[in-house]
Structure 1
Amino acid sequence: MNNIAILPQNEKQRLQALDSYQIMDSLPEEDFDELTKMASQICGTPIALITLLDSSRQWFKSKLGIDVQQTPRAHAFCAHTIIDPTGVMVVSNAREDQRFAENPLVTGDPNIAFYAGISLLTPEGMALGSLCVIDTVPRKLDEQQIWSLKVLGKQVIAQMELRKKLLLLCETNRRLAETNQFMQQFATTAAHDIKNPLTTISMSAELLTRHLENSGDKKGHNLALVCLNGIKALRKLINDMLDYSIRPEILTGQHETIELGSFLRKTVSMLSIPENVKISYPETKIEISTSAIALQQIMINLLTNSVRYNDKQTCLIQIDCVVIDDLASITVRDNGIGIRKEELERIFQRNVTLNTSDRFAQSGTGIGLATVKLLVEKLGGEISVQSTPYIGSAFTFTIRSKKTA
């Protein structure tokens, strides 16, 4: 007797749907095994399976009571279940059923006598396989048991849907990470490629500016100044691009113990600080365990801003630090032009530039303070600002650290 089930009319679409779940030949998962065990207990059968049918085989995502992982589709009871319009197939005695009496799974191991299967229907109505229970002796299920199997079948599909979404999310995150890495590498390479010739142009512009000033050519000198200021603005933008393109995980990854006073003085020595700038440092010796390169980048940004946005004859910058337990609070205070109240809320947003020009009549790039905020948060802290227009600003940030006397 031919016991091979006919193919569903939507077989092509059904196989495509099955493939979209990327579940065939996957490893066992506890969430599915728990549903299989529950089906066995509810129905009182020694065997319970979650089966999935591809073009040639019946594969078991979860199995209880048998050792094999798959069978030929031609022998599968579940191949009949997925074409049943009710989505439920019960075979009380397979040995007396003409469809299955000569089936190798009936005449041989696992010696199926009783079978009850529930189609696993996707939200689009595609039957991918079944949740089934099997016994080696003829028997029946009551209405409550069949209802319970239907509920468990829906839970199997719900779990498959969740698994599918998680796989999609992981793949999306992987692609985003690859794109992000490419963009970071591109930004770094592009900025470096532009920065090198720009340095030569900047030096030439400075020489030209001094030459025109010494020669008394005021018109030419003014044009050269415009050119030089434009170059400085471009150089600032490129430096900010380089800073922001560096992954914060790299900047904040390695911690070391630093003495804050000497560290700050060394950082300041790296900057081109005008003679009219006076900087005060913490008086108490403080040691902090943190990422030196990240803290240095934070301080360079804050100190540079304090100098750039200052219109006073003498630029005053005061750096204070207070350590309580493992939290260090560092404040950079200046007497600069300040920040208007309506601009304080968005000052740390990336690509946001304030309606304020610096002492060189240049606007910011909208990258520097966004980088500072990102690095501070990666160091486990927060940053805030208090400011009064024409009086000055105070940037305070916290980082996880330690203090030694």
Structure 2
Amino acid sequence: MLQPAVPLNEVERLKSLQEANILYSPSEEEFDNITQLASFICKTPISLISLVGEHEQWFKSKYGTELCDAQRDISFCSHAILEPEQIMEIEDTRLDVRFADNPFVIAEKEPIIYYAGMPLKNHENMVLGTLCVIDTKPNKLDKKQRKALTALAKQVEILLELKRKNEYLKTIRKELNDHNDLLKNFAGVVSHDMKMPLANMIMTADILKAKFDDQLGYEGLNYLKNIKQSGLKLSGYINGILEHYESDKIAAAHAEEFDIHDLLEEIIDLLHITEDCEINLPEKNTTIETNRAALEQIFLNLIGNSLKYNDKSKIIIDLECSENLDYYYFSVKDNGIGIPKDKEEDIFKIFTTLSKNDRSGNIGNGIGLSTVKRLVGNLGGNLRMESEVGKSTCFSFSIKRK
């Protein structure tokens, strides 16, 4: 018996096999289907997907045998991987000097008399093992069988590559989730830590104005006004960040039953509307069962935007609600300033603004609509918008029923 030679690129080959993360992995139907098909096509009782490690070969898939592995120095596949581009076929192993006294060949029970193996390569052209068929009597593949075995080996390579890419994507996803969690924690800590100093700054500006109003003069009072406005704007920005990153927690709350009119009336009261405004509630007062806190946050943002970004003397907001067996559907339509077509995709991105002043002359922070989209997505729904500049904007969204 001749022991197999070691490939010239053995170090790199073993590294590739390790990185494939498939050695000693559980059996999988996709691979088992291929070994079964190979055995059927080649008319052999045994078929294996064999991965050649440093000291042993291990069978990712096996058909017709209970063996799980074998020593590398007596394996047939260790010889087959030395010729990566072609099938190694031994019609009668008893007549081949490499295998004549091999333990598998001279075994009394189910000896390996016939072997045909097609090497399996990865994306870097490194040979990881073989797809092989085995018989206990002399055999020979015809032209069609050889072509089929080669094609099946290619399918194994495709499965191995898909498995490698999936593992890579899982790793990237975990890293992104970890980074996202760190960002959430950082944003939460920083935002909470900044709220008190900001409140103190705003309050101090009011105290200074009250105590020294007659001494500061027009310019001094203007400075105080700017300080307070900047503080209020930054405070709103921080509250927006907290709402955005806490939206996942809000969406995870339990569903409860309530009617839509009660919810919307509470929201209208919270907004303390002072403008001339007509808000039309849904014609039907539907009783729904969903996450009340999340839906409240969505409506607060959308109705709030309809109030702020409106240049009409009278603000008109129409609210609609409907349902089917799977979803609740809602819409918020206003007669506001509208959104240009080229900005429709950008408005849902966090920190993106239209660079337009609202009704009070302020520019938004670009967080509200991003939070709305995040909440709607977490509730299993979709959000879309239709707008006409200078006339109206309508936000429609769905929520999956519990």
Please indicate, yes or no, whether the TM-score normalized by the shorter chain is above 0.5. Answer: yes
**Partners of 2:221 and 2:366 in 1: CA distance:** 30
**Partners of 1:399 and 1:355 in 2: CA distance:** 28
**Partners of 1:401 and 1:130 in 2: CA distance:** 48
**Partners of 1:86 and 1:317 in 2: CA distance:** 73
* Amino acid paired to 1:255: A
Task: Report deviation, 1:251.
Answer: 1.8
* 3-state SS of paired residue (1:328): strand
**Partners of 2:387 and 2:144 in 1: CA distance:** 68
List aligned pairs for 1:368-379, cutoff 5 A. 368-379=368-379
Equivalent position of 2:133 in the other structure:
133
Structure-2 change in CA distance of 1:121 and 1:263 (3 Å): closer
Equivalent position of 1:159 in the other structure:
159
Question: In the alignment, is the contact (CA less than 8 A) between 1:105 and 1:111 conserved in 2?
Answer: yes
**Stretch of structure 1 that moved more, 294-303 or 28-37:** 294-303
**Partners of 1:23 and 1:318 in 2: CA distance:** 59
Question: In the alignment, is the contact (CA less than 8 A) between 1:111 and 1:136 conserved in 2?
Answer: yes
Structure 1 residue 9 corresponds to structure 2 residue 8: yes
Question: In the alignment, is the contact (CA less than 8 A) between 2:376 and 2:398 conserved in 1?
Answer: yes
Runs of 4+ aligned structure 1 residues displaced above 6 Å come to none
Task: Report deviation, 1:265.
Answer: 3.0
Equivalent position of 1:323 in the other structure:
322
Task: Report deviation, 1:241.
Answer: 0.9
Identity %: 34
**Partners of 1:279 and 1:37 in 2: CA distance:** 71
List aligned pairs for 1:280-295, cutoff 5 A. 280=279, 282=281, 285-295=285-295
**Partners of 2:251 and 2:196 in 1: CA distance:** 23
Task: Report deviation, 1:225.
Answer: 0.6
Unaligned 5+ segments in structure 1 are none
Structure 1 residue 229 corresponds to structure 2 residue 212: no
**Stretch of structure 1 that moved more, 44-53 or 165-174:** 165-174
Task: Report deviation, 1:324.
Answer: 5.0
* 3-state SS of paired residue (2:38): helix
Structure-2 change in CA distance of 1:138 and 1:38 (3 Å): same
* Amino acid paired to 1:104: P
**Partners of 2:260 and 2:84 in 1: CA distance:** 76
Aligned length: 395
Equivalent position of 2:70 in the other structure:
71
List aligned pairs for 1:223-372, cutoff 5 A. 223-248=223-248, 250-251=250-251, 254-271=254-271, 273=272, 275-276=274-275, 278=277, 280=279, 282=281, 285-309=285-309, 316=315, 318-325=317-324, 327-333=328-334, 338-339=337-338, 341=340, 345=344, 346-372=346-372
Unaligned 5+ segments in structure 2 are none
Equivalent position of 2:59 in the other structure:
60
TM (normalized to structure 1)? Answer: 0.87
**Partners of 2:6 and 2:400 in 1: CA distance:** 67
**Partners of 1:393 and 1:258 in 2: CA distance:** 30
TM (normalized to structure 2)? Answer: 0.88
Question: In the alignment, is the contact (CA less than 8 A) between 1:322 and 1:328 conserved in 2?
Answer: yes
Task: Report deviation, 1:214.
Answer: 6.1
**Stretch of structure 1 that moved more, 360-369 or 84-93:** 84-93
Question: In the alignment, is the contact (CA less than 8 A) between 1:344 and 1:385 conserved in 2?
Answer: no
